[in-house]
Amino acid sequence: MLFNSPEFLLFLPIVFGLYWFVANKNLKAQNALILSASYFFYGWWDWRFLGLIALSTLVDYTVGLQINKHRIERNRKQWLWVSVLVNLGLLGYFKYTNFFIKSWIDAWNSLGIEMQTTTLQIILPVGISFYTFQTLSYTIDIYRGQLQPTRSLLNFATFVSFFPQLVAGPIERAAKLLPQIESKRVFKYEEGVTGLRLILWGLFKKVAIADNCAIFVNDIFANYPDYSGPTLILGMVLFAFQIYGDFSGYSDIAIGTAKLFGIQLMTNFKTPFLSKSIPEFWNRWHISLSSWLNDYVFFPMAFTLRKHGKSGVALAVFFTFLVSGLWHGADWKYVVFGGLHGLIFLPYVFLNHGPVQIGTGRIDEDGYFRWHHTIRNFGLIAFTFSFNLFAWVFFRADSVSDAMSFFSHLMKSLDSEVVFDMRMTENFPIYLCIFILAMYESKGEGAKFMCRYRRVRWSIYLFLIFLIIAVAQDESSTFIYFQF
Amino acid sequence: MSSFIRKIVQFCLILSLLLFLLEIPIQVNYPSQTWEFGDWHTLKGINAEILLVGGSTMWTGFDADRITCSTGKKTYVLAQDGYGGTMVMTKLKNYLLCNDAPEVIIVNGGYGFFHERQEWYDKHHFLKYLFLDREGLYSTVNQLQGFHWWEFWVPFVRYSGAMRRYFRDATWKNFKPKRKNGFSPTRAQHDPLPEIPFDTVDLARKNFALIPQYSELCENRKIAIRTPVSRNLNERTGGVDSVRFQFESQGFMYIDLNAITVWPDSLFNDNVHLNEHGAKLASNILIDSILKPLYADPAFDARAIRLHIPLPSIQANALSENIQ
């Protein structure tokens, strides 16, 4: 089920009503309702893959208890390996099998040894990368002694499958989400209102911005040899807003929906386009993933390599970004995307005097748009944004060679006489929506609609709803990050 | 919680009111037609004596003005651009509900009748007529891709992503289409249709179940016409005899215009849509070889006809070249 579908518009009030008016007296009943709703939500897409979530849940629930039960380090580690192998095994099979087969064959072919390409017909289960990482963090935290396992299978299953963030995050940590699931929730008016505002704002970003940018982006990237250089640059910029609107829109809806059920999810985006450096960008972009990678990939590796000093840290950073790239998809283009970010991160490692961290979610005091920003800051923001545009071409293109060809054509056609060869007036609604997005989010006001007068606030809500209806595409389109 | 629910209800009421306000101009302009062809338009008071029913091949293929002038019978082309027998039948039912039954109904018995769409082609032409389903479209379009049930019950939202069409439907007065006679084939000359790449076409397998339903709707004289297609396509079309049998067993007079004469490519915009000259020729055949004899002698059997009328001189050379 998609957040931007009418089915969800019916599903949410029904579950909300049952949750607060029928099951509100009993925590178990509330969690059972959330669990059923989550399985229904996921099964709406493909019920067959519910088994995978159930398997992952059962394995990690058991592993968590076993790790906690055993005191001998060897036994604890063995149980942890069970969790790692099952989770990464599922992820590897469903997401990376064909990639590895193809890469293997390509490698032999490049050596002149002909091998036939045979790939398996494997459907990638939606959200597998998200819930796999979430359950992995649970067992690793227990192994590290940072978390006590839950005794309730119901609570754990609810934690794993909590529908607002099941298929595209934010990737929650058990230490934060499980205690909320295990304790009684009380409806708070302010939380409910904030949740609805976030849902509305997320829908606006997804439906009005991302889906409309997608029309031009898809056309430009599919037919880039036919377009002039400036149009290709426009396509790159629109893709930046598409992917931001799509993913942060999803996160906003997820966080807002969770608030309606009295549960707080972590912030996933903090105006990333205002970042002044790539390290800062990763503190603002997909924070739940980058902090996960920081805790479970970068930090252990940097610790292992600590005797090599900054070189070891740099290696850990680079490796972490390669993993980040590969997490996004089973294709070399994602590896290149991650590698580019890793490379541009390296100077920061060597020049920074403090400890290196990825995805802290911390931003500077002047991290939002202020008119008194210095020219230097504007320059840094522009540089960081430009680098992201460059790296996202690899993300968006069909392959690495396609991305290279895109750049090649871009360089050749920059001096062409044709400035913009698309009908620019058709883009006007998109520019308007992007302008509204920039005006609102650059102030860093969170989900507040900047007015204490209800009539004005409600007028803004109505205007946003009208805008969503006016520019929405006919069919609800899926979220980009569902494929990961 | 009660305050939260109360405010949500208040907001939803205001939103509903806003949507109803936006719907009002559409309903006020309901009878107007804003597109020359393709619109699903209102049909009251047409009362044609000869009614041609079909998709684009009918409205590009026959000139209703010419037929009216030549036969003295009020002729109207009831067409829905891009659709086959199912959609057109819904339109025919609507027509028959608010008009007198025509003396002669001529149904497209060719590829256009049997071609069914999976997707909701040119949906924007239907948007005005969806709210509360006043045209009975729901059951016809609910299998098509692009169908959303809420568009029939929630005001305004069906114009999502089609604001230009909304303003056109809400504000434009009648486009003054040829409501008297339906669509005019001259349009096809100025707006050439794209080449339709057909491979072999087998007419026999599709939509036979519709034929009895059409038969029930047509009380008086009923004719099914297989509209002209290019010679190349005609040679690769199979199943015509089965179609003829199906129509004739339901009381239709079945006429294959492709069997009457050879249609050179110069008469087509593409493989299946006649251009203005082709439409003139097709209309003349319909008038002289079918309608006039039919009105003169109700027992007239069109199966026997072969083209013996002189072709317009402008086409004679082209035709002879193609035949050679």
Lowest mean pLDDT among A106-120, A228-242, A250-264: A106-120
pLDDT at B304: 56
Of B301 and A273, the one with more pLDDT: A273
Question: Given A286, A308, A328, A353, which residue is catalytic?
Answer: A328
Secondary structure (DSSP) of B192-258: PPPP-----EEGGGS-TTHHHHHHHH--SEEEEEE----HHHHHTEE-HHHHHHHHHHTTPEEEEHH
Going across the sheet that includes B253-256, the strands are: B75-79, B50-54, B104-108, B221-226, B253-256
- pLDDT of res. B27: 92
Query: What does the angle CA A331 – CA A473 – CA B171 come to, to the nearest 5 degrees?
Result: 160
In the DSSP assignment, the letter for residue B51 is: E
Specify the pLDDT at position A444: 60
Q: What is the arithmetic mean of pLDDT over A122-151?
A: 86
- Under DSSP, the state recorded for A372 is T
The whole-number average pLDDT for the span A96-123 is 74
Q: Which of A6, A187, A462 sits opposite B18 (nearest CB)?
A: A462
What's the confidence (pLDDT) of residue A156? Answer: 93
Phi, psi of B54 (to 5 degrees): 170, -160
Enumerate the residues of chain B whose CB falls inside 8 A of the CB of residue A187: 1, 4
Contacts of A92-100 with C-beta under 8 Å, sequence gap 24+, read A93/A122, A94/A52, A94/A122, A94/A123, A94/A124, A94/A125, A94/A128, A95/A124, A95/A128, A95/A129, A95/A330, A96/A326, A96/A330, A97/A122, A98/A122, A98/A330, A99/A330, A99/A331
pLDDT confidence of residue A199: 93
**Residue B114 Cα distances to A239, A290, B229, angstroms:** 42, 56, 14
Query: What confidence category does residue A40 fall into, taking pLDDT thresholds of 50, 70 and 90?
Result: very high
Predicted pLDDT at A23: 86
pLDDT the model gives residue B314: 42
Indicate if the pLDDT at residue A277 is higher than 70: yes
In this structure, are residues B54 and B107 in contact, taking their beta carbons and an 8 Å threshold? yes
Contact B163/A473, CB-based, under 8 Å? no
pLDDT digit string (tens) for A52-82?
889 999 999 999 999 988 888 888 999 999 9
Q: Judge whether residue A229 has pLDDT over 60.
A: yes
Check if A328 is active-site.
yes
User: Which residue in the set A6, A465, A471 is minimally distant from B15, CB to CB?
Assistant: A465
Mean pLDDT score of chain B: 80
The nearest CA of chain B is from the CA of A324 a distance in Å of: 36
Residues of B engaging A, defined by a Cβ cutoff of 8 Å: 1, 3-4, 8, 11, 14-15, 18, 123, 146, 148, 150, 156-157, 159-161, 163
Q: How confident is the model at residue A465 (pLDDT cuts 50, 70, 90)?
A: very high
Lowest mean pLDDT of A10-14, A392-396, A450-454, name the range: A450-454
User: A473 pLDDT band (50/70/90 cuts)?
Assistant: confident
**A388, pLDDT greater than 90:** yes
**pLDDT at residue A449, as a whole number:** 56
- Please say if the pLDDT value at position A376 is more than 70: yes
Preferred mutation among A191, A428, A465, A469 to probe B, highest tally of B CBs within 10 A: A469
The pLDDT score that the predictor gives to residue B195 is: 55
**Assigned token pair, A59:** 């394995």
> Residue A13 has what pLDDT?
94
Print burial letters for A20-41: b (CB count within 10 Å at least 16), e (below 16). Answer: beebbeebeebbebbbebbbeb
Name the residue facing B161 among A20, A466, A471 (closest C-beta): A471
| pLDDT (average), residues A242-255 | 91
pLDDT at A380 over 90: no
Q: How far is CA B60 from the centre of its chain?
A: 10
B198 Cα to chain A: minimum distance (Å):
27
Q: Residue A429: closest CA among chain B residues belongs to which residue?
A: B161
pLDDT at B310: 44
CA–CA gap between residue A234 and residue A290 (Å, rounded): 28
pLDDT of residue B187: 43
Contact B159 A193 (CB under 8 A): no
pLDDT per residue, tens digit, chain B (324 aa), is 888 999 999 999 999 999 999 999 999 988 887 766 677 877 888 888 999 998 888 888 888 888 888 888 888 888 888 888 888 999 999 899 989 999 999 999 887 787 778 888 888 889 999 999 888 889 888 888 888 888 999 999 999 888 888 988 888 766 554 544 555 554 444 445 555 555 566 665 666 888 888 888 887 888 999 999 888 888 888 888 888 888 899 888 898 898 888 888 888 887 888 888 888 889 988 898 888 888 887 777 665 555 444 444 445 444 444 433
| Residue A6 distance to chain B (closest CA, Å) | 8
CA angle B185, B187, B188 (to 5 degrees): 75
With contacts defined as CB-CB under 8 Å, which chain A residues touch B146? 474-475
Q: What percent of the residues of chain B are helix, what percent strand, and what percent coil, each to the nearest 5?
A: 50, 10, 40
What mean pLDDT value characterizes chain A? 84
B1 vs A187: CB contact, 8 Å cut-off?
yes
Cα torsion for B86, B91, B95, B101, to the nearest 10°? -20
Q: State how far the Cα of B110 lies from the Cα of B115, in Å rounded to an integer.
A: 9
Amino acid A138: pLDDT: 92
Sequence-distant (6+) residues with CB within 8 A of B75 are: B48, B49, B50, B51, B52, B64, B67, B68, B181, B182
Residues from chain A contacting residue B11 (CB–CB below 8 Å): 458, 461
Which of A6, A20, A462 shows the shortest C-beta gap to B148?
A6
State the Cα–Cα distance between residues B45 and B47, nearest whole angstrom. 6
For residue A320, what pLDDT band results from cuts at 50, 70 and 90?
A: very high
Q: List, in sequence order, every beta strand (DSSP E) within A344-411.
A: none
To probe the interface with A, which of B2, B6, B7 has the most A CB atoms within 10 Å? B7
